Structure formats: structure tokens, C-alpha cells
Amino acid sequence: MDFQSLFHTLGIEPRGILIQIVGFIVLFLLLKKFLFKPVGMMLDARADEIRNNLSKAEEQRADMERIRHEYEARIEGVESEARARIQAAIKEAQAIKDEIIADSHNQAKEIIERGQTEIQREKEKAMVELREEVASLAVSAAGKVLEKNLDEAEHRRLIDDFISKVGASS
């Protein structure tokens, strides 16, 4: 049995198969030249565009991340500077407060000392005046005693007058 009789039995015509194979090859070459190449070029162009877009997006993301880190660093710097300034202001205010309190205490001591000095001076002045008054009253009482002959009632009256005058003058 040869191939021709086998093909004929199976209902295959070798010439038709050969024409179909040649037609398929021609169709494949035409599709490759007019369809596959332009579609492939279009797909390659689209893939390049997607790669470029992804690359640009990654660059933009990296730039945004870098800028975010810069801003965070700046914000942290500003916050630490603000904290330092606040601490310095608090220390300065505390120093001023301490200085004001110390000055107030010193002024209060000076006022108290002046007041005590003034009180002492007034006390001494009052004592001098009292001594002078007592001496004058004693001299006056002695003069009255010498002028009069004193009996017990008169003596009591003079002592009461002397005591009331001393009490009134102090």
C-alpha cells in the first residue's frame, strides 16, 4: 500500500493539503508582515510608554518622599527651636522673678530698718520729753510743797495731780 491509496481511502487529497499548507504559509507571512509587526510595534510602544510612566511615577514618588523627609526635618527643627526659645524665656522669666523678689526683700528690709530707726528715734525723743516734763512737774510740785504747808489731803491731791499730768503727757 502506498501513500496515495492510503490518502484516497481516508478521503485526503494530497494536492489540496499541499495547497492549504502553501496558503497557510502565505497567510502567515502576510499576517506577520501586515498584522503582527504593526501590532507588535504598537504593543512594544505601549509597553515602553507604560515603563516610562512607571519610571516617572517612581521618580515622583521618590521626590515626594525626599521632600516629605525634608519638611519633617524642618518641622522638627522648628519645633526644637521653639522648645529651646520657650525654655530660654522661662529661664529668663524665672531669673527676673527671682531678681524682683530679691529686690522686694531688700526694699522691705530697708523700710523695716528705717521704720525701726524712726521708732527708736521717736521713742528716745519721747523719753527726753517725758524726762523734761517729769523734771518740770517735780520742780513745780516741790515748789508748791514748799509754798504750802501740806496736810495729808493736800499731799494726796498734789500726788494725784502729778500722776494725772504724767499720764496725760505720755
CB 158 within 8 A of CB 145: yes
CB 134 within 8 A of CB 166: yes
Q: What is the pLDDT of residues 63-78, one digit of tens each?
A: 999 999 999 999 999 9
Q: Measure Cα distances from 40 to 9, 28, 37, 44, 101 in Å.
A: 44, 15, 5, 6, 89
Q: What is the pLDDT of residues 94-132, one digit of tens each?
A: 999 999 999 999 999 999 999 999 999 999 898 888 877
Q: Which long-range contacts (CB under 8 A, 24 or more apart) does 152-160 make?
A: none
| Grid coordinates given for 168 | 496725760
Question: Cα torsion at 99, 102, 108, 112 (round to 10°)?
Answer: -150
Contacts of 13 (CB under 8 A, 6+ apart): 7
| Grid coordinates given for 2 | 502506498
* Band (133; pLDDT cuts 50, 70, 90): confident
Which region, left, alpha or beta, applies to residue 148 given φ > 0 means left and ψ of -120 to 50 means alpha? beta
Scanning the structure block, which residue is given the C-alpha cell 502567515? 28
Domain boundaries, the chain: 3-169
pTM over 0.75: no
SS3 119: helix
pLDDT of residue 115: 93
- Helix and strand tally (H, E) in the chain? 4, 0
- In the predicted model, is pLDDT for residue 43 greater than 80? yes
